[in-house]
């Protein structure tokens, strides 16, 4: 079995939420615990940091991993979903797991995979934890996939739990109120393990405080440990001036979305807590890690500029909270003509998201090549109900090509609406 045959097996045999949606969701940890027992509980052989939240958890995870790398720790990073290559999900010091490792894992353990019949995500978590243990990482930053309480990653007992923010997403699984969703995310809070919450949302503050009290876990909101103000920005980075016990000073963050300011504050607060325990961190390692986060970790799809003249930008924001932040950033660009290549999956708040988009843009409605993708004609119809006008295209490449054909030298093309639309835009 070669690497492509291995991927074909994984994608075809294992239910994959990112592609199939609800049918792939497992509302318990039975398979995860069975796999964990089979592999000898590998997550107990390295330290972990657990990151949950509706938006920003990927950026926070990458920044934390980059700083830990800069501090000299052998650092694992588990994230999802991937954009271009399955191996993006599992990295050590910024290097993806090898194709050989992936193939050998499946070949050696195919029997137990077929016997337990895990979801794609459950199998990937098992692969990551086994790989990190065998390669003897010092610490792994582990991003929650969906929710928290019942997520496959939630078998770990981390040194720190981080919850970025709470918004309405995956409501069919997590509940249709912020309080319900916060309760699911708070499920990663463990006994005696400190927790940092990135955004202080008064309406759900008590959910976290009650859970932390029950678990005898110290709770911190990021603003209590770190404050930020923007400095001078450029086309390559945004300058942030931080005040914190550890890491006060000026930083150049190469992630340009203004929403990254909240994420960086969350990271800085987390680092201040980590520094009080086993970790030895310095302002220099923080600065080096933040300034080199893209280089160190290969982070993709966060307000990423693909080309100039016309400017082409993509972003993986895909729910009401995330799209709201992205649209604020888009309006800051000040371009006269905006072209938006837009596709969504069919289990999001379609109407709520479309209402956030600018009516003065020209739209190119499309769909990613996954079963969950919303039909581009239906998307165009829904968009028309809120005053958005454009054309529909049967695939992402055709939509991008049309936008580039219509855009002039000083226009802006934005590509988004779905992680999978962005993934296809990034393909060469």
- For the domain that residue 387 is a member of, what is the CATH number? 3.90.190.20
pLDDT in the model for residue 22: 52
Report the domain count for the chain: 2
Are 62 and 191 contained in the same domain?
A: yes
pLDDT in the model for residue 232: 85
Are 264 and 119 contained in the same domain?
A: yes
Tens digit of each residue's pLDDT (9 = 90 or more) over 246-277: 999 999 999 988 889 999 999 999 999 999 99
Interval 365-382 mean pLDDT: 94
72 and 303 in contact (C-beta within 8 Å)?
Answer: no
Domain boundary among 249, 264, 297: 297
Quote the mean pLDDT of the chain: 93
Are 282 and 416 contained in the same domain?
A: no
Buried b (16+ CB within 10 A) or exposed e, 128-164: bbbbbbeeebbbbbbbbbbbbbbbbbbbbebbbbbbb
Are 265 and 357 contained in the same domain?
A: no
pLDDT in the model for residue 26: 60
Taking alpha carbons only, the member of 250, 278, 276 closest to residue 264 is: 250
Does pLDDT of 314 surpass 60?
A: yes
Are 133 and 39 contained in the same domain?
A: yes
Domain boundary among 265, 297, 329: 297
Are 187 and 126 contained in the same domain?
A: yes
Are 12 and 120 contained in the same domain?
A: yes
Are 196 and 308 contained in the same domain?
A: no
- For the domain that residue 186 is a member of, what is the CATH number? 3.40.1190.10
Torsion of CA 280, 282, 287, 290, to 10 degrees: 20
Tens digit of each residue's pLDDT (9 = 90 or more) over 148-188: 899 999 999 999 999 999 987 766 778 889 999 999 999 99
Task: Domain of residue 28: give its range.
Answer: 3-297
Interval 13-32 mean pLDDT: 65
If one counts every other C-beta atom within 10 angstroms of the C-beta of residue 274, the result is 24
Are 249 and 322 contained in the same domain?
A: no
Are 91 and 129 contained in the same domain?
A: yes
Are 262 and 330 contained in the same domain?
A: no
pLDDT in the model for residue 321: 87
Domain boundary among 297, 323, 357: 297
Tens digit of each residue's pLDDT (9 = 90 or more) over 318-373: 888 889 989 988 887 766 799 999 999 988 789 999 999 999 999 999 999 988 89
pLDDT in the model for residue 25: 55
Are 196 and 336 contained in the same domain?
A: no
């Amino acid at each position: 079995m070669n690497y492509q045959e291995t991927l074909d097996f994984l994608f075809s045999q294992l239910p994959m939420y990112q592609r199939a949606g609800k049918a792939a969701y497992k509302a318990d940890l039975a398979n995860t615990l069975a796999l964990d027992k089979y592999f000898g509980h590998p997550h107990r052989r390295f330290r972990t940091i657990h990151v949950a939240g509706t938006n920003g958890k990927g950026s926070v995870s990458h920044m934390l991993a980059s700083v830990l790398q800069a501090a000299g720790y052998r650092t694992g990073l588990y994230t999802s979903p991937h954009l271009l290559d399955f191996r993006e999900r599992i990295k050590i010091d910024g290097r993806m797991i090898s194709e050989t490792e992936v193939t050998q894992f499946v070949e050696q353990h195919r029997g137990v995979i077929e016997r337990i019949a895990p979801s794609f995500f459950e199998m990937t978590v098992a692969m990551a934890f086994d790989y990190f243990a065998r390669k003897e990482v010092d610490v792994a930053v582990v991003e929650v996939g969906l929710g928290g309480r019942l997520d496959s990653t939630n078998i770990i007992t981390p040194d720190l739990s981080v919850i970025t923010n709470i918004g309405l997403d995956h409501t069919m699984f997590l509940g249709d109120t912020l309080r319900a969703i916060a309760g699911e995310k708070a499920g990663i809070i463990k006994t005696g393990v400190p927790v940092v919450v990135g955004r202080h949302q008064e309406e759900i503050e008590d959910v976290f405080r009650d859970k932390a009290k029950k678990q005898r876990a110290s709770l911190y909101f990021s603003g209590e440990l770190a404050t930020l103000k923007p400095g001078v920005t450029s086309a390559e980075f945004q300058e942030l001036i931080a005040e914190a016990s550890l890491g006060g000073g000026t930083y150049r963050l190469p992630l340009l979305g203004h929403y990254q300011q909240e994420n960086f504050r969350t990271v800085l607060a987390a680092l201040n807590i980590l520094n009080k325990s086993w970790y030895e961190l310095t302002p220099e390692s923080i600065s080096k890690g933040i300034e080199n986060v893209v280089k160190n970790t290969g982070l993709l799809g966060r307000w990423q500029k693909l080309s100039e003249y016309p400017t082409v930008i993509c972003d993986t924001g895909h729910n009401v909270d995330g799209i709201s932040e992205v649209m604020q950033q888009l309006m800051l660009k000040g371009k006269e003509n905006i072209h938006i290549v837009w596709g969504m999956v069919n289990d999001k708040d379609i109407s709520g998201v479309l209402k956030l988009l600018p009516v003065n843009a020209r739209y190119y409605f499309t769909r990613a090549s996954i079963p969950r993708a919303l039909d581009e004609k239906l998307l165009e119809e829904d968009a028309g109900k809120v005053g958005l006008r454009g054309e529909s295209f049967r695939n992402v490449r055709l939509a991008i090509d049309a936008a580039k054909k219509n855009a002039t030298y000083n226009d802006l093309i934005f590509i988004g609406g779905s992680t999978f639309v962005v993934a296809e835009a990034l393909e060469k």
